[in-house]
Every structure is written in C-alpha cells, then in structure tokens.
Structure 1
C-alpha cells in the first residue's frame, strides 16, 4: 500500500508521484489535504481557490474513470497524511519536491513523522519544474544568479521521459471528505473573468496553443491587445499541466526551426530559474535578493490608485483592471505595472507583490516575488536601475490603443495614440472624460528614483 500525496501536481498525465506510487504497491491512495496552514499564510484567496476546486474535481473525475477516486482530508498536512497512512497500512508516501520555505519545512516534518512510525517518504524531482532546482550549478555556488548562463546550462540538460497517464488505479477502503467547493477554500468572490481550471481544460488549451499560437509566439508575445501568450501559467502553477511535457514538446518544435517554440522554451526556463533561486534562497520571498538600500516611500493614496487602476496612466490602469477582472495579466503589462509602482512611484515592491498574490490565479511565490524583485532592481536583473516608461511602452506594444480602450472604457472614444496621453487633450474634451489626472509626472518620478538610488 502507498499514498500519492498531491500538492502542486494536480494531474494524471506525466505525474512521477502517482506513477511511482502505483509501481510500488498494488493499491494506492491518491490524497489531497486541504491545508489549514495555507490560510494562515494569506495564500488562500478566491481566485486560486476557484481554480483549485476545478482542478480537484477534474482530478477526481480522471481517477474515477480509472477505478479510483481522490481522497480528500482537511487539516494539517503532516498529521492528516500520517493518519491516513496508518489507517490504510501504507508503507510509503510519495510527494513532489517543493521549493518554497513552507513546502520544504512541510516535507521535512512529514519525513520525520513517517520515519518515526516506520514508514518512508519518497520525494520526486522534475514534477513542479522541468529541470530540478540544483540540477545545474555554477562552479562553487549553490545556484545561478543570472539567467543567461543558467539558460545555457538548462538548455543542455536532458529531461526525464514524459510519462503516460495510468490506465488503472486500485484504491483501498479510505474515508474521504467531499470535494471542496471554492467557497470552502477561501472567502470572497472570484474575479468575473477567471479562467476555468482542471487538467482537461489545461490540455485543451495546450492543444490549441500548439496548433495556433506557438508558431507566432516570437513575433507576437508582447502584443498587449493581441493576447498572443499561451495563458498556461495557471495550469503550471497548480500542476494540471506538466512543465516537462511542455518543455519537451516545445524543444522538439524549436529543433525543427520554429522560432516561436524557441522563444516559448526560454520563457519556461525563466520559471525554472526563479524556482532554483527560491530553493537556494527561501528568504527572498520576503527580502531583497540584492539590497539596494532603498528607503521606499509611504504614499497610501498613490498605492490605492495603482491598485484600483486610477493612476492617470492608461496603460498601467488597463493592466490593473485586467488583473481585477480576470485574475490574470499579460506578462508585458506585469512588467510595466511593476516598474511604475517601484520606480516611478518608488513604493516597496512587497506592496505590489502582495496585491498580485491576492488576485493572480497563477500567483506563485517563486515567479511572483522574484519577478517583482527583477523589476524593482533588487533581484537578478543585470540592469537594476532600468525604468520602463509607460508611454514609450504603450507606443511600442499597444500602438493603436486597443488594449487600453478595452480595459479603460472611459477612453474608448479617444482617437489614435492620444488615448495614451489624455491629459494632452483640449480642456473641454478632458473634462468630459471620467478619468483621473496622472498621480505624478514621469519626469518627477524618474528624478526621485534616480536620487534615491544615488544615480544623480
């Protein structure tokens, strides 16, 4: 008897945890524990709760089609897992390796508790990431701090084989709670445009991406209105899609000369890069990776305007409104919104990271926190003082203003590129718009940032 403990790997296809558990014993308990500790971290929020509920329902459906089902328990993960293992006589528990401080502590406590009871914990790499953290290392160091050399080594690293979904799952008698509804996982309403979760939905989206968007990704991935990114990040976060499968298939297309696939592989490598950084430096979830001795401003009204999409800079506001409506934001828009907060307003990146984690359905500690630090200049960026000008970014990546007009309806009637600079309209036209004046001039923000960083 063995237990397959699902965490961030809510899938049947290419799941080493479930595959190993099935190989180790004739009967397997597929287990998910609704972790009471997650609520204490503030990580249980409505958007991810809704997506998680979809993923669990899809996983249970897939297991039932193979003769099993998902066993659900609620409480402290270590205690509930050990209790189930004892009740079923399971000798082994299989789980995916984590990278966050929370996941690593949970793993160590689970190992100790199981060993004290005469049982074994089997931890599996290359489940949450394509290349395990620590698999590629620079000489004399425990992780890569710069992406480009990491990417070269990562690209040469062979992947484990992609595993098929199991044909059958034999489950012993094991009591289970009902599958949790989203409302039971987090209080509050989810964003109205939230995508659906679950392995089936993820595989449908992946198939469509391979047929259409992948080939054009290199040329179109920064087109804000074109929405030409994969939108697979929520499925990667919850593990309803396998990063190994995505990288393997994209590498194959790239080897055949598909520039879009090569560009997509690079983005998947960024995800692994951030995970290996967090695994080596768990404290970077809260602290600067490379401190710049910032004395961040406190400006509650400006922070509130940024959160609400009311900064007076249409592209920034469009990005924040997309986040509120969909629980997701285009990657280029994330960079622009983050640069505006940290460098134009000079507010602490942790404020922005927290707001993103409150709403992003793909909210991942490694990617979110370390991307925020990259933009703030306290992370791995080799140009830590770069500032993204939202007007220049708008002219380049939303040249006809379609993205802004979609998300900021008050500006829908503003013609041409004037939509990005409504304060330049004649006073009478500007007065008719239900849209705020800029919270700060870009020149003032840049001068303040450069002075704070000692660049003047």
Structure 2
C-alpha cells in the first residue's frame, strides 16, 4: 500500500479537507504539522489558538486510530525528511495565497523533486479557489466586489470532501511538545481568547446557523448584541470549512452571510494577484500620511478619548478579536481622522488578532484607508455617527471602557460634554481631536 504525507498548514480539520481526503485515498497516510518559528512569533494569540487546534486535531486523529506527527523547523525540509523516513511517494497540503505560503510551496516542490516525491496542493482554504473566477475581457482577477459576487454566486462549487474513516498508527516519535511551544510563543495571550479547534468551531457553527443565521442581515452590525458568527479564527486556521459553512447558509436562506464568505474569497483572489498587499498600496493614494507616535500609541491603548474607538481597541486587547463594525470604525479613525498610515494599524492588529490573516486584514485595512478595493475611496466613517447608529444605548462602550460605565446613553459617547467636575472624576482622557461645534477636526 502506498504511503503519503499529509502536511497540515491552515486546514486543521478532518471534515471537508480535500488534501487529507486525497492522502487517505492513496493508502497509508502520515499526518504532519511543522511549527514555523517565523509564523509562531508574530502573535501570542494565534499561537495559543493554533495550539488548541492542534491538540484537538491530534485527539480526532487518535480517535480514528491515527496520530499527528509534530516537527519544528523549515516546513519544506521537515516534510521531505519525514517523507523519506516513511517511504512516502507524495506530499499533500492545502493551497494558499500569501507570499510566505507561495515560497513554502516552491521550496517544498524543489526539495521533493530531488527525492522523486510528488507534491499536490489542494483547494479548501476558500469556497471558490482564488484563480477560478476571472473577469470577462481579460484581467487576472476581479478588482471590484459587485461583479465578483455575481460570478461567485453563479459558480459551481466542488463537492464536500469525504470524512476519512480508520487510519493507520503514526509510528515515528513526536519531535515537539505542545507545552514547550506554548511557553515559548503563547505567553501573554489575551485573557478572554476563544478556545481553538475543529470541535469548538463546529459546535459554534452549528449553534449559530441554528439560532442566529436568519436574523444576520438585521443584527450583524449591532455592536453590543454580538450576534455575528464569531467564526473568523476558525476559518483562518481551517478548523471550519468555508465551503461547508457557505453551503449550510445557502440551504437555510442565509445569503447575507454567504455574501460575507464571498467577500473573504474576493480578498483571497486579490491577494493571489497582488501578494504585496500587506506592504504596498493596492491603489496608491494622493497625499502623505501623518506621523504622530503619541496619537498612534493612544489608539493602540484605547485612550483616544473617543469611546467607541477605545471600546474596540480594548476588546481587541482583552479578547484577541473585535466586532467587525468596530474594526471598521477604529481603522477609519486611525487612517482618516488621525491620518496615520494603514500599515501601522495592520501591524497592531496582526499582533493581537486570533484570526489575523494577510488577505483579510490587509485587504480590509486598505479598503478603509482608500487604497484598496472600495469603489468610494474617499469614504470616512464618522465615529460619533457610527456610535449613535450601532451602539445607541452605549452598552458596547460601557462593557469595554469601565471608566464610562456610570454614564447613560446620552452621555457615554460624548463624555467631553459633561460638566468639568463630572468629566474630571471619570479618569478618562480628553479627545485627541477637536470636537468643537459637534464636529471632529484634525489636530494638525
């Protein structure tokens, strides 16, 4: 019976995993994950979530008679080394779009070819693979979401991959202990970080599809309600299949939610065509960014004096996540009001977000900053109007900014309008920008 290597990367699940299903069909499979220090060191929250996901994946593999081999080092080198030791003729993995993933695949193919080992990259990261949809009349990718959404909606999706049955035991000894990785890279993770893994992700997905999908269109921007799926970190690590989720949403009439998954796919196909999306403007903008280290530090710490902005930034620090509407508000405040380069915001989000992901994060930051795929590049989200519309009771602010917990709905979003004695008692900073006449004016 042939032996192959299943190299897990960002597809840490057994359900609808095309790469794993193909490896199992070929014969005996050796499941492998390689810790890459360059990725582990970027975020303690993602390191913590990853460790949860791997622990859960290992338990699921063991329940089927198999196991998960863990290594640490260069993923291409380790995969080929394990393949050589196991006598494997093929390495299977999920395809990806980032520059790092592309270099990893090229390196893997080069090393494997020298050993006469095949390498196959499979779909599974998105609903529709990044290169499958192309605009008519030429062009390598869609630059505007509307036409992409129509093409995505009409596309034929691949069938869900089979769930493998019994597996063969993994005989090679593990070279890495999860506790050692946790001590080295997950220390300092956000205290309220969600539990990672396919088991937790599928449980959350099933409950949300059952209870909240039908009201998604009317509730997804409710900051205090927290009625979104909160599945983004599970999608980022492949603990939940985006295709399985989209298919379930479609069956239940959840087109507004499916549209969000299409937006995710849209940004992946943009990133595949423009891998420098995290470093360079997709569409260069006129004018220079404003350098202000003090303002940037206040934004990072959630001490801008604008409660809706500070609530979002503090939620990020505490939970390793942020409501999507709050992401838009905080990003717009940094880039539009403070006029700080979006790359500074992206870097901070990348350090803290459990769902931190190049395509989604850089694509959305550039969308807000006016350098990306927004058809209205001059769009500005006024934080005061956003607060009044999406947190009218002030519950979201009071939850995350305890200094303002005693204020009512008419006061909590504009504490600078309180009488001086009450304002001084709050121990809350004054606004970074001038709010004279009810308007937000840049300080410089």
User: Which residue of structure 2 lines up, in the alignment, with residue 392 of structure 1?
Assistant: 385
Taking a change above 3 Å as real, the CA distance of residues 6 and 443 of structure 1, as seen in their structure-2 partners, is farther
User: Which residue of structure 2 lines up, in the alignment, with residue 33 of structure 1?
Assistant: 34
The alignment status of 1:228 with 2:221, answered yes or no, reads no
- The runs of at least 4 aligned residues of structure 1 exceeding 3 Å deviation read 442-449
CA contact (8 A) 1:130 1:272 kept: yes
The alignment status of 1:194 with 2:193, answered yes or no, reads yes
Taking a change above 3 Å as real, the CA distance of residues 32 and 185 of structure 1, as seen in their structure-2 partners, is farther
CA contact (8 A) 1:321 1:407 kept: yes
Query: What is the CA distance between 1:175 and its match in structure 2?
Result: 2.6
Deviations 1:40-89 (A, max 9, x none): xx53x210111100000000000000000000011111110110000010
Gaps of 5+ in 1: 255-260, 452-456
Taking a change above 3 Å as real, the CA distance of residues 217 and 81 of structure 1, as seen in their structure-2 partners, is same
**Alignment counterpart, residue 304 of structure 1, candidates 285, 290, 297:** 297
**Alignment counterpart, residue 148 of structure 1, candidates 146, 157, 161:** 146
Query: What is the CA distance between 1:447 and its match in structure 2?
Result: 6.2
Query: What is the CA distance between 1:408 and its match in structure 2?
Result: 0.7
Taking a change above 3 Å as real, the CA distance of residues 58 and 318 of structure 1, as seen in their structure-2 partners, is same
TM-score for both structures, normalised by structure 1: 0.94
Query: What is the CA distance between 1:184 and its match in structure 2?
Result: 4.2
CA contact (8 A) 1:309 1:321 kept: yes
User: Which residue of structure 2 lines up, in the alignment, with residue 416 of structure 1?
Assistant: 409
Three-state SS of the structure 1 residue aligned to 2:346 is helix
Return the alpha-carbon distance in structure 1 between the equivalents of residues 302 and 324 of structure 2: 17
User: Which residue of structure 2 lines up, in the alignment, with residue 15 of structure 1?
Assistant: 17
The alignment status of 1:138 with 2:131, answered yes or no, reads no
Deviations 1:176-204 (A, max 9, x none): 22442352451531101100001100011
Deviations 1:293-316 (A, max 9, x none): 331111011000000000000000
TM-score for both structures, normalised by structure 2: 0.96
Return the alpha-carbon distance in structure 1 between the equivalents of residues 104 and 430 of structure 2: 48
User: Which residue of structure 1 lines up, in the alignment, with residue 126 of structure 2?
Assistant: 129
Query: What is the CA distance between 1:164 and its match in structure 2?
Result: 3.5
Deviations 1:381-424 (A, max 9, x none): 01111110000000000001000011111111112221100111
**Alignment counterpart, residue 434 of structure 1, candidates 406, 427, 432:** 427
CA contact (8 A) 1:37 1:76 kept: no
**Alignment counterpart, residue 312 of structure 2, candidates 316, 319, 324:** 319
Return the alpha-carbon distance in structure 2 between the equivalents of residues 312 and 219 of structure 1: 29
Three-state SS of the structure 2 residue aligned to 1:69 is coil
Deviations 1:85-131 (A, max 9, x none): 00010000001001001101110110111111111001102x11110
CA contact (8 A) 1:236 1:242 kept: yes
Query: What is the CA distance between 1:441 and its match in structure 2?
Result: 2.1
Return the alpha-carbon distance in structure 2 between the equivalents of residues 431 and 248 of structure 1: 53
Query: What is the CA distance between 1:428 and its match in structure 2?
Result: 1.5
CA contact (8 A) 1:316 1:390 kept: yes
User: Which residue of structure 1 lines up, in the alignment, with residue 44 of structure 2?
Assistant: 46
Return the alpha-carbon distance in structure 1 between the equivalents of residues 411 and 367 of structure 2: 31
- Pairwise mapping of residues 70-89 of structure 1 onto structure 2 (< 5 A)? 70-89=68-87
User: Which residue of structure 1 lines up, in the alignment, with residue 209 of structure 2?
Assistant: 210
Return the alpha-carbon distance in structure 2 between the equivalents of residues 298 and 213 of structure 1: 43
Return the alpha-carbon distance in structure 1 between the equivalents of residues 227 and 83 of structure 2: 45
Return the alpha-carbon distance in structure 1 between the equivalents of residues 184 and 361 of structure 2: 21
Aligned length: 439
User: Which residue of structure 1 lines up, in the alignment, with residue 341 of structure 2?
Assistant: 348
Return the alpha-carbon distance in structure 2 between the equivalents of residues 307 and 297 of structure 1: 16
Return the alpha-carbon distance in structure 1 between the equivalents of residues 365 and 435 of structure 2: 20
